[in-house]
Structure 1
Amino acid sequence: MDDLLERLRAGLPAEALLTDPDVTASYAHDMASFCEAGTPAVVVLPRTVEQVQHVMRTATALRVPVVPQGARTGLSGAANASEGCVVLSLVRMDRILEINPVDRIAVVEPGVINAVLSRAVNEHGLCYPPDPSSWETCTIGGNIGTASGGLCCVKYGVTAEYVLGLDVVLADGRLLTTGRRTAKGVAGYDLTRLFVGSEGSLGIVVGAVLALKPQPPRQLALAAEFGSAAAACDAVCRIMEAGHTPSLLELMDGTTVRAVNAMAGMGLPETTEALLLCAFDTSDPAADLAAVGLLCTAAGATEVVPAEDTAESEMLLQARRMSLTALETISSATMIDDVCVPRSKLGAMLEGTAAIAEKYGLTIGVCAHAGDGNTHPVVCFDHTDADESRRARESFDEIMALGLGLGGTITGEHGVGVLKKEWLARELGEVGIELQRGIKAAFDPLGLLNPGKLF
């Protein structure tokens, strides 16, 4: 420990090192439940690439594990500390270095907050589409590490589709630049995509070139009430089959709607069993919403209410954004799943989740990015009750098994981390895991970067 601190201090300013145990303990874990976390030896908050390189060279020399972190809003334990590790928090590397309206790119450091970037590029008539629910607090580096999604994925896609190039500090301290600033480029293996979603296990992202889009018109939304989740999922299938491309297509089950009302008094319809939110940012969103409204009615919607203006639309979207937070108020603990299935299987996923909730005697609320089949079942339980905690974990696992059985994946946007390591092996298979471990060994032969995550 003394040798580690001495070497770190040789290349870092004093304010970049945190050693107080009470302070470092607060950096031990992200927002996931049921995920083991160790005690950091030290927390480092660098401001420059050179400082990150110094940390990695020191860690390699002393064989000390390093756990990179952003805002710690993750939900899989991917940012949890390993015992005796260096926590490398990148939140102070928060500069937007360039916004280029001609090339439609932004060059940023990893600690830039998603919402800060979005507002900055809006001033240039551009937009950065990926918008996780935690966009007001999560960082671009964390978004890249987990390949995060958001509410607009149904039309605009996920983080991976907007990362053109990266600057990455490797485990031994070398600086690697991947990708490009150009609109096209196919030179060599796509190392940029390899780092996106790698959860800090291959290198430390210290800079990113991000693609931007022209800012679309303000979107208008509608809310459709259904007497069952199955009917709402049928509406989703009808909307997509008809060729519509909404900017947002989100679902909240009755449990989630009531939780949002209880927390924020949003006035959402408490008698509904499923609320479908659909929005368009086209040149004539009212006409698109009218067409979708007819499809919802045909699928069994009991009421379809279009927003009258952008302010009302934003109120509806805010209700969806606070869904996970609202469900957390139901009990002392939650486990937030992240299972993505083919859209055609969305109804079966929700019905199966309801059956699992009944089997285990638990409250499980579901909100979903319905347009791309990404469900977020939230298991609510009393963490002080050992039996209820056991049932929560078992129900969580059954939900993942259900998703795989429907041809889906164990994570659409939250990542694997600690929480889903066993399930990653089931999804990828023996050969897949062997090759993934080989890639890890090529980039991090000593196994120092975020050990114990993924596999």
Structure 2
Amino acid sequence: MSDEALVTRLRDLLGKSAVLTDTDVTASYARDMMPLAPSGQPLAVVLPANVEEVQAVVKACAEAGVPIVPRGAGSGLSGAANAIDGCVVLTLTKLDEIVEIDPGNRLAVVQPGVVNLDFRNAVEKHGLFYPPDPSSYDWCTIGGNLSTNAGGLCCVKYGVTTDSVLGLEVVLADGSLLKTGRRTVKGVAGYDLARLFVGSEGTLGVITQATVQLKPLPQAPATLVAGFTTTEAAGEAVARIVREGLVPSLLEIMDASSIKASETYLKTDLGAGSDCQALLLGQSDAGGEVARRELAAIEQICTDCGADLAYTTEDLEEGRMLLQARRVVLTALETYGQWLTDDVCVPRTRIAELIRGCEKISSEVGLRIAVVGHAGDGNMHPTIVYQPDDEDEFARAQRAFDAILEVGLSLGGTVTGEHGVGKIKREWLAREIGPVGLRVHRQIKAALDPENLFNPGSMFSMT
């Protein structure tokens, strides 16, 4: 089947308006938010409206031998949804129905095009809570969260996306619909296929529906902020919090560069002082006296570890202001230039070493590197700032990006905690999992997608 014949067939299946071929339009669907990741020119972008249309597109592309790249809102940071030349970009934003909310069983059934924040707001009306909250939660979609196994600020207590998934419906390479998982709390019948597809970055199938478990709506959070004159002291506080068995609903860290950027952007003073090298932000959503005891224990640990500032508030507005300083870091860094954010996860006892490593890399490449991250689980986001029109700075930013991954691995960490491998960390995945791990990945891919049509080149190559 020729390319022209495939486009004609897709329009017959979906309608002309749901098949985009104008190159100016398709270019806007060709890449995500990661500037390092390569992208190509798609043959077409299709916007199916239901699962049957997804199946029809997959079958048509399979017959034509044309690759398919599934895509959500494009908020990713690894190039996982980037087009390759001649592919069909399968955009799932029209599958945006919350099919069911079941308060009695604390679960929901949701399609992949639903925006994360819209879903959270919908279940909140039933007194329920969907925990995964990526920084882009106001525009990223559930499907993208599933495909990359997204995390967020609440991971320390509630886990990442896969921890909320009970079951999936997935369109396979032959167009058939696989139903995985269950609606029950427990279930061990067969392989855990749902978890296989979560985090697979669209390389094994197209997720068209998810059954997710929900939590009771937490209490309004109380907030803690602690400032340290050394990164090592902040790192020791995190390690002691973990050792003491304390599990706040949020525990974030900001380095000096991040603090300065946020304060400048927000035109506020976080009270940490000019000598502050690291700031911890914690929250407890346990409510009442339990939250007070939890944060009091964390505050005492911070003080014992040498915090110059240790402050707890139950005022919601004050808590929002403090947390906003963490959430706006990337936007704040845009005042200095283009940002390139990395994503490494290290053992929580080695966070300070990673931050120090980033400071050394910053000095070596001559670029600003700001570090923020989820201290509660060790997932750090060193962010490199460069001038996009300066080729030399861009090259140095690329070197810094790889050097940070090298440091992360040397500390016993992983090259991605939540953003995914995509098209920028393929060689790093191979280094991390080794030849046997890579062979098993390829065998699974070959079993489910023998013609290598789903997102080829993402995560790893088949050769």
Q: What corresponds to 1:325 in structure 2? A: 331
Where do 4+ consecutive residues of structure 1 move more than 3 Å? none
Q: What corresponds to 2:44 in structure 1? A: 42
TM superposition shift of 1:15: 2.3
**1:346 counterpart (345, 348, 351):** 351
CA contact (8 A) 2:26 2:44 kept: yes
SS in 2 for 1:440: helix
CA contact (8 A) 1:349 1:402 kept: yes
Pairs within 5 Å for 1:91-130: 91-130=93-132
TM superposition shift of 1:244: 0.9
Q: TM-score of the superposition, structure 2-length normalised?
A: 0.96
Instruction: Tell me, in whole angstroms, the C-alpha distance in 1 between the residues paired with 2:369 and 2:125.
Output: 41
Equivalent residue letter for 2:286: T
1:347-403: per-residue Cα shift (whole Å, max 9, x none)? 111111111111211110000100000000001112322222222111111111111
TM superposition shift of 1:228: 2.0
Instruction: Tell me, in whole angstroms, the C-alpha distance in 2 between the residues paired with 1:156 and 1:328.
Output: 30
CA contact (8 A) 2:221 2:314 kept: no
Equivalent residue letter for 2:425: K
Instruction: Tell me, in whole angstroms, the C-alpha distance in 1 between the residues paired with 2:426 and 2:332.
Output: 27
Instruction: Tell me, in whole angstroms, the C-alpha distance in 1 between the residues paired with 2:91 and 2:321.
Output: 34
1:261-285: per-residue Cα shift (whole Å, max 9, x none)? 2323243246222111011111322
Instruction: Tell me, in whole angstroms, the C-alpha distance in 1 between the residues paired with 2:241 and 2:105.
Output: 34
Pairs within 5 Å for 1:134-283: 134-269=136-271, 271=274, 272-283=276-287
Instruction: Tell me, in whole angstroms, the C-alpha distance in 1 between the residues paired with 2:424 and 2:323.
Output: 29
Instruction: Tell me, in whole angstroms, the C-alpha distance in 1 between the residues paired with 2:270 and 2:61.
Output: 52
**1:290 counterpart (292, 296, 317):** 296
Pairs within 5 Å for 1:306-317: 306-317=312-323
1:82-113: per-residue Cα shift (whole Å, max 9, x none)? 10111111111111000001111100000111
CA contact (8 A) 1:266 1:319 kept: no
Instruction: Tell me, in whole angstroms, the C-alpha distance in 1 between the residues paired with 2:409 and 2:446.
Output: 28
Instruction: Tell me, in whole angstroms, the C-alpha distance in 2 between the residues paired with 1:358 and 1:211.
Output: 45
- Segment drifting more, 179-188 vs 283-292: 283-292
Q: What corresponds to 1:66 in structure 2? A: 68
TM superposition shift of 1:227: 1.1
SS in 1 for 2:382: strand
Instruction: Tell me, in whole angstroms, the C-alpha distance in 2 between the residues paired with 1:155 and 1:431.
Output: 33
SS in 2 for 1:68: strand
Q: What corresponds to 1:302 in structure 2? A: 308
Equivalent residue letter for 1:365: A
Instruction: Tell me, in whole angstroms, the C-alpha distance in 2 between the residues paired with 1:201 and 1:265.
Output: 44
Aligned positions, number: 454
CA 1:308/1:211 → structure 2, altered by over 3 Å: closer, same or farther? closer
CA 1:387/1:114 → structure 2, altered by over 3 Å: closer, same or farther? same
Q: What corresponds to 1:405 in structure 2? A: 410
Instruction: Tell me, in whole angstroms, the C-alpha distance in 2 between the residues paired with 1:295 and 1:161.
Output: 29
- Segment drifting more, 381-390 vs 179-188: 381-390
1:233-288: per-residue Cα shift (whole Å, max 9, x none)? 11111111112110000001111112122323243246222111011111322232
Instruction: List runs of 5+ in structure 2 lacking aligned partners.
Output: none
Pairs within 5 Å for 1:433-452: 433-452=438-457
CA contact (8 A) 2:99 2:108 kept: yes
SS in 1 for 2:14: coil
1:195-228: per-residue Cα shift (whole Å, max 9, x none)? 0000000000000000101111111111111112
CA contact (8 A) 1:230 1:350 kept: no
CA contact (8 A) 2:330 2:339 kept: no
CA RMSD of aligned residues (A): 1.2
TM superposition shift of 1:307: 2.2
**1:421 counterpart (422, 426, 434):** 426
Equivalent residue letter for 1:104: R
TM superposition shift of 1:12: 0.7
Equivalent residue letter for 1:42: A
TM superposition shift of 1:327: 2.2
TM superposition shift of 1:311: 1.9
Q: TM-score of the superposition, structure 1-length normalised?
A: 0.98
SS in 1 for 2:451: coil
CA contact (8 A) 1:416 1:453 kept: yes
Equivalent residue letter for 1:282: A
Instruction: Tell me, in whole angstroms, the C-alpha distance in 2 between the residues paired with 1:233 and 1:323.
Output: 20
Q: Percent identity?
A: 54
CA contact (8 A) 1:33 1:334 kept: no
Instruction: Tell me, in whole angstroms, the C-alpha distance in 1 between the residues paired with 2:438 and 2:203.
Output: 14
Instruction: Tell me, in whole angstroms, the C-alpha distance in 2 between the residues paired with 1:5 and 1:330.
Output: 44
